Amino acid sequence: MYYELIMPKQKKIEKKKFVKKPKSEKPKAHAESGAAERGKKSYALLRGMHDILPKEEKYWKAAYHTAENLAEHFQFGRIESPLLEEASMFVRSIGKGTDVVDKEMYIFEDRDGNKVALRPEETASVVRAYIMHGMWNMVQPVKMWYWGSMFRYDRPQAGRFRQFNQVGFEILGDADPVQDAELILIAHNFYKDLGLPVEIHINSIGVPEERQKYKTALVEYYRSKRSYLCDDCKQRLNKNPLRLLDCKQERCLPIKEEAPQIIAWLEEESKNHFMKVLEYLDELSVPYVLKSTLVRGLDYYTRTVFEVYPVMPEGDESALGAQSALGGGGRYDLLVEEMGGKSAPAVGFSLGVERSVSALKQYLDAQQIKFPTQQVDVFLAQLGDQARRRALKTINELRTSGVKVAYNFSKNSLKSQLETANNLQVPYALILGQKEVQDGTIIIRDMESGVQEIVDQKKVEHLLKKKLSRFDVNAK
């Protein structure tokens, strides 16, 4: 009998004999089914990598179009920079000692032994391009936007990947606070247009001299409370004092509240700049929240810094968990010079696309709003060989005239084809069978009412468009 083969003893012997025991040893009804049985390795993704599947497309498309649209309205030109650049460029721009550089960069040697890195962010590249292509000779400011993948060798978590996408806007060559405000407006509009309510957190971290003085004061203050601090904060006190401000430990909270605020250390000029930014935002009715504890992780920021957070409905925790910031940015007046260019002020921001999409989905779910799906205009069902040949032609003709046609040539019965049409929720179906091919006609079926009419194939295109346009108007 068959199962005798798997009697214990037998199995044990086989196991010892073959170190790599084939899985199919267990008699299975369909031994040829899984990848392992087929003797092929199946692959898993590298840690922190993810596919963005077709079902996500509508959100991604919407996000991209929204950004593109804003870029057009505010006259930003799209820049696409390489994914791979000299590693030292990022070290210089983002700063040694920052986590992004010290522990999160994908850095390796290419075949010539050059140290290269996958970009962890794109601002550095934009600045590099600005310098390299002599853009200071253009009319200032130069406004650029980008959309693309960034890489950080970080421990993955909800809302955090090793390869992720950012959309960013940068304005180079203008120090006016109105530019800061314009950018914040764009960030705000991006979410407004997408349909996700957000909150802008804003602060000013001054220029390096001011920041240095503030740091000293902050350290002095925290030193006096050292024994009450959490372990992390004790570390931060020496390593990165500004980060003391975003400690979430309960024991540090009261200390944090009493801590000196950076605003008080700003000189006249920085203070004015900040006030102006806020005034413009008021003028533009962009709501914002002042956060005296907001500092950012990259070294190059000066003065204005801001972050964007989703506003979820009451009682709904953000699905992004602790990674709730959708994006952020700020002014970086010294970076161009730091990177070897002629000194030029600049301001910019970047938003996480994955985080934005996931927050948007969560928000829509909570509000029970359905995101519009890509609509197909009509489904073409065919019956028989001749009809199928004719159908291909018809599909192409309709496509040329701008009608979106769905079809399924791998299904032959009219029944299952109409079923597919139904699932796609198309308003109309075209039916093309042997008889119709012969007569030079085609059936138009109204999927809602089930009413059908037989029309001349030559008139289909015109008739269909007429029906569809009426449908469009009705929908609005």
Residue list 415-434, contact with RNA (CB under 7 A): 415-416, 418-419, 421-423, 431, 433-434
Q: How far is the CB of 156 from RNA (least distance, A)?
A: 4
* 3-class DSSP state of 15: helix
Question: Which stretch, 141-149, 160-168, 286-294, 368-376, contacts RNA (CB under 7 A)?
Answer: 160-168
User: Does position 1 bind RNA by CB under 7 A?
Assistant: no
User: Does position 240 bind RNA by CB under 7 A?
Assistant: yes
* 3-class DSSP state of 375: coil
Query: Is 390 within 8 Å of 437 (Cβ atoms)?
Result: yes
Query: Is 210 within 8 Å of 266 (Cβ atoms)?
Result: yes
* 3-class DSSP state of 227: helix
Residue 373 per-residue DSSP state: P
- Indicate the residue among 29 and 475 with the shorter CB distance to RNA: 29
Binding to RNA, residues 262-281 (CB under 7 A):
none
* Number of Cβ atoms within 10 Å of the Cβ of 96: 9
User: Does position 157 bind RNA by CB under 7 A?
Assistant: yes
Enclosing H/E stretch for 329: strand 327-331
Positive or negative, the Cα torsion across 11, 17, 23, 25? negative
Peptide bond into 141 cis (omega under 30): yes
CA separation for the pair 172, 58 (Å, rounded): 32
Q: How far is the CB of 239 from RNA (least distance, A)?
A: 8
Residue from 218, 354, 390, 405 in contact with RNA (CB under 7 A): 354
- Indicate the residue among 361 and 411 with the shorter CB distance to RNA: 411
CA separation for the pair 290, 204 (Å, rounded): 9
CA separation for the pair 185, 463 (Å, rounded): 45
Site string for RNA, 174-213 (x = CB under 7 A): ----------------------------------------
User: Does position 448 bind RNA by CB under 7 A?
Assistant: yes
Residue from 4, 17, 40, 45 in contact with RNA (CB under 7 A): 45
| Residue count, binding to RNA (CB under 7 A) | 90
User: Does position 246 bind RNA by CB under 7 A?
Assistant: yes
Residue 451 per-residue DSSP state: -
Q: How far is the CB of 51 from RNA (least distance, A)?
A: 11
Question: Which stretch, 63-71, 72-80, 318-326, 462-470, contacts RNA (CB under 7 A)?
Answer: 318-326
Question: Which stretch, 134-142, 176-184, 239-247, 396-404, contacts RNA (CB under 7 A)?
Answer: 239-247
* 3-class DSSP state of 73: helix
CA separation for the pair 474, 470 (Å, rounded): 6
Binding to RNA, residues 48-67 (CB under 7 A):
48-50
Query: Is 201 within 8 Å of 220 (Cβ atoms)?
Result: no
445 beta partners: 429, 452
Question: Which stretch, 172-180, 235-243, 263-271, 461-469, contacts RNA (CB under 7 A)?
Answer: 235-243
Binding to RNA, residues 70-99 (CB under 7 A):
98-99
Residue from 19, 139, 473, 475 in contact with RNA (CB under 7 A): 19
User: Does position 36 bind RNA by CB under 7 A?
Assistant: yes
